Amino acid sequence: MNITKKVTVSLILIFVLLASAGPQLGSINLICASSAVSFPVLAMPVEYVNYTIARVNGTLWAMVDGDFPIYVLNQLDSIFNGGLSMLYPMPPNTTDIHVFYNNQELSWTNYTEEYPSELHHTALGDWWMIYSYIGSVPDYFVLKVQYEHPLQIVNGSYLFLYNLNISGYLSPLSNNSTCHYTINFEPNVTNIKAYTTETDTQWNPINYTSTKNGTNQTVSIIEHSEYAEPLPGDLIVEFNGVGQDLAGTISPSSSPSMYTQTNSSTIMVVAGAVAVAAVAASLVYYKKRKH
């Protein structure tokens, strides 16, 4: 008997079970060909994302360090003991990428280079993706992803976006999640604004706290997500540099020409030991839904 389980798309982590007996991936639904293969309930009650904004050869860059503690919530009639394949979206011109599983560095490949149509859509344009494989996982593990990318310029301001879509980790068994952002600005900056967004055009302000030591400034943001409630979405931070010169900065390849502000306040993981080609089939539909 086939078992069909709903898989909610998550921008940071997407787990999709790929059964060795021949998965059928389409829509946002997961169909396991064998009842012997079970899809795990996953939880990420907290995650930590650290940014350092620094000037490199006259251009502002973001150094990103994310920690993702993940729980596999095995149920009485469902125990998952498979491997995981990971897809993680990257901003344009990202370099110095490192992926760790329980402090062990993993190799990765450029997934979009192999499948050029597979891009991940965000409010700041389309992002490319990396692929990595993790072997059999325990009930609890920690993924860490580090990378660096130049900041984008939109409408005369510096911008960066963090892809947060925690929906795949929210369920009746784990009904909330909190992301803690810490952003250290090494250059002197002004007019810092922070938003969450679920769309390309509607950016909703979110509160933050800030401390300053000389020209260095540290911003802390806490983003809460609740099961069965509207999700805040991705984080976007906008700011101006003191005496900034837009020459020599990096603009997005596909950025919005305008955006709307309102007054209210990206690891994809595919579970199962199968070929990457099977993952591509599911992502085609996912990419279309995001556009």
pLDDT tens-digit profile of 241-267?
876 554 444 444 433 333 333 333 345
CA 92 to chain CA mean position, Å: 14
Most confident of 34-38, 169-173, 233-237: 233-237
Q: What is the DSSP string of 42-105?
A: EE-SEEEEEEEEEEETTEEEEEEEEEEEEEEE-BTTB-----EEEEEEE-TT-EEEEEEETTEE
pLDDT of residue 96: 97
Cα–Cα dist 255/201, whole Å: 11
Residue 38's pLDDT band, with cuts at 50, 70 and 90, is low
58-78 burial, b at 16+ Cβ within 10 Å, e below that, comes to: eebbbbbbbbbebbbeeeeee
Tokens found for residue 18: 């790929």
More confident residue, 31 or 219: 219
**How buried is 192 (Cβ within 10 angstroms: 0-12 exposed, 13-18 middle, 19+ buried)?**
middle
Q: Comparing C-alpha atoms, which of 231, 229, 212, 232 is closest to residue 220?
A: 212
pLDDT recorded at residue 24: 26
Between 85 and 37, the more confident residue is 85
Question: What are the helix (H) ranges across the chain?
Answer: 111-114, 276-290
Q: What is the pLDDT of residue 127?
A: 93
Say which residue, 159 or 200, is predicted with more confidence: 159
Q: Whole-angstrom Cα distance, residue 291 to residue 287?
A: 7
Is 2.60.40 the CATH classification of the domain at 3-290?
yes
The distance in angstroms from the start CA to the end CA of the chain is 34
Is residue 12 pLDDT above 70, yes or no? no
Over 80: is that where the pLDDT of 81 sits? Answer: no
The dihedral sign for the CA sequence 111, 116, 120, 124: positive
For tokens 């450029």, what's the residue?
110
Residue scoring higher pLDDT (184 or 243): 184
62 forms bridges with which residues in the sheet?
53, 149
**Which residues make Cβ contacts (< 8 Å) with residue 20, sequence separation at least 6?**
37, 272, 273, 274
Which residue ranges make up each domain of the chain? 3-290
